[in-house]
Amino acid sequence: MKTAWVLCTAAFAIPAIGLAYEKAFTATAPGTTEIKSIPERTLIVAERGENYFEGNNALFGKLFRYIKDNDVSMTVPVKADINPGKMYFYVGTKDLAKNLKKTGSVEVITEPRRTVLSAGVRGGYSENNFEEAREKLFDCLAVSKEWKKSGDAYAIFWNGPYVPDFMKTFEVHVPVKRIE
């Protein structure tokens, strides 16, 4: 179930480029803000003690080696916790039956279904762009009479490293719950 919640929206969006990878869930269009449900999913995760934006290439390398060694298909998007830096790959439906095991550098987790306030953004995957989108979401929640924050903000990246910054799309999610 996805409830459109058009709060704090911008009017400009460039059409998305089709992806050949399985999508873990539907993207929030750039320039829009919405409440949406993220389904329960299995993910693989690598962590570093530093800020995500200081060490993301090392995290990607750990996860990429894991999927290569375990014959796991690449999916989109990539999830990132910022502090401490964690990068997550969603496990595709055809790979769920595999006996994926924790290694010294990669953990396998199941993340429960959750509701998030999501901002769709176009631009480079930078700390400044993440913080700007996160603050807009916090501003939306500050005036909401229906939703409140229930977890830390995180990033969702939809494009690979070779896509030019002006074409990249990402989201910032803030887990939310209804105000009682």
Domains of the chain: 2-39+113-178 (no CATH), 41-111 (3.30.70)
**pLDDT score at 1:** 38
**pLDDT score at 92:** 94
Burial grade of 130 (CB within 10 A; 0-12, 13-18, 19 or more):
buried
**pLDDT score at 16:** 40
CA–CA gap between residue 171 and residue 17 (Å, rounded): 16
**pLDDT score at 55:** 66
**pLDDT score at 106:** 97
Strands 33-38 and 2-3: antiparallel
Q: Establish how many alpha carbons lie within 13 A of residue 74's alpha carbon, considering only the half-sphere containing its beta carbon.
A: 12
**pLDDT score at 3:** 39
Residues 6+ apart with CB under 8 A from 42: 90, 91, 96, 100, 108, 109, 110, 111
Q: Which residues of the chain have pLDDT under 50?
A: 1-19
